[in-house]
Structure 1
């Protein structure tokens, strides 16, 4: 058994194999693949709810960052996976982590018009005032795109 088997099980959505591999090798939950993704980052990026839930049963750095500095929460905000976003926040994901460009989960959610996720992030303490490396807040990104519902939500 190798760590690559764990990442293959995630990609194949093989929950049983995932359970076996993590029970025998619990530290693998914090390992990374060639792209810098942990098992949680990979599962959440692909929107795999059951696999993500299984991985979250194991102690880990829920705010681990990939090669671009993105966390699992940032990825689901970009992709629009609200159920997984809720799951990550319930497990203590830090909503204010910034990636290597200074972006936060809220900035991604605003940029990609993910209103349901924006509301969840704000309820979990997302800081609307954080600016990315270009000096833009989540509200600035929404205004640049004319996203009226996002603008209204962020101005409340």
Structure 2
């Protein structure tokens, strides 16, 4: 059985139709198509956003999404513990260590140990790293605005509220 559904705003995305049609052949007690659509679309937006930003903005600076994320967190929070950087970026401490080495080679950041506990390492921006972020962020933000430009401010606010709820309820 093939399903061709429409939502309130028009035809579903072709990928959503394909997903629904595939899942209708699987015997499930209760199929929550809305949950599938939300999670799938969040994933697609996240991947698309990451790819677009890497190609349009970050490539000019030779940065990956995770490297930018680290620089951004250091820019906002001054020095940040490597464990916290890993949590914020959703990667392992080993990944943070490898990216930190690359960023150190580019003279964008440096490591420092906690004087009270040598096992704890912080990473901070160098003056060059601060300059890069001050030049990079306006371009990054311009693309953020472009990405959501088809949404009204009220739609953006509602989406933000909903996403924050998902983040809080799942400890993301």
TM over 0.5: no
Q: Could you say which structure has the higher strand fraction?
A: 2
- Name the TM-score class by shorter chain: under 0.3
Asked which structure has the greater CA Rg, the reply is 2
More helix by share: 2
TM-score, structure 1 length as denominator?
Answer: 0.26
